[in-house]
Amino acid sequence: MTDRVHGTVGASLMNVRVQAQGGINGGRGGWLASVRRGYLDIALKLAGAADSLNPRYDDVFAKAHYDVPETWLFGGRVAAHVLHAGDNLDYAQNSGSIGSRQTSDYAWLTWSGRVGHAEAPDGGNDRLQQSTVLSITRATNHRAGELRDERTIGSSVYDDRTFNALSGRQDWTLAVSPRFMMRWGADVARERAL
C-alpha cells in the first residue's frame, strides 16, 4: 500500500456517496473518509409529490490507523474512527406541521497488538495479545409540532431525548501452549439518558 489518494463517487436512486482513502508514512498507516447524502426530498420535489413530506438524511464516516513500530515491549495497530448520522423529516399541512430530528454520533479509539517479547508456543512473537477500545456515544431525538382540523380538534407532540455514553473495554489473550489459550477482559461504561 502506498500513500497515494484514491477516491470514488457513487449514486443510487436514494443517495449519493463520495469516498476517499490513502496511506500514511509509506503505507505504515492509512485513512478513509466517506460522506453520503440522501436526496429523497429532492426526488419528491421533482416529482411534484413534496407537498407534505420533506425527508432528509446524511452520514459521515472517517477512520485512520497506524501500525506502531515493533519494539521489545509492544507492537500493534492504533486506530481512530468517527461516525455521524442524521435524519430529518418535516410533515406540513395547512393545519400545521410536525418536525423530527435525529442524530447519532460515535467516536472510538482502538489499540491492539502484542505485549512483551516472549515467544508464543508456535515460535511467533505474539504470546500475549491485548485489545483496548475507548468510545464516546451521543444520540439525540427531537420531535415537535401541532396539527388541527376544521373542527378545531388538534394534536400536538413534543419529544426531546438525549443519550450519552462513555465506555472502555480491554481484552487479553495468552497463548500458554499450542493447544491451550487463556482469555480474559473487562469493560466499564458510564451512560446517561435524558
Amino acid type, 164: N
Q: Residue 171: what pLDDT?
A: 96
Q: Residue 115: what pLDDT?
A: 81
Q: Which residues contact 6 (CB under 8 A, 6 or more apart)?
A: 20, 21, 22
* Edge-to-edge order in the sheet of strand 128-148: 6-11, 15-24, 29-38, 53-68, 74-93, 96-115, 128-148, 154-177, 180-193
Extract the C-alpha cell encoding 12. 443510487
Q: Residue 124: what pLDDT?
A: 52
pLDDT in tens, 145-157: 887 766 666 778 8
Q: Residue 49: what pLDDT?
A: 62
Q: Residue 122: what pLDDT?
A: 52
Instruction: Give Cα 42 to chain centroid, integer Å.
Output: 26
| Coil/strand/helix, residue 98 | strand
Q: CA angle, 39 as apex, 38 and 41 as ends, to 5°?
A: 120
The domain limits of the chain are 6-193
pLDDT in tens, 12-43: 878 899 999 999 988 889 999 999 998 877 77
Q: Which residues of the chain have pLDDT under 70?
A: 1-2, 48-51, 71-73, 117-126, 149-153
Instruction: Give Cα 158 to chain centroid, integer Å.
Output: 28
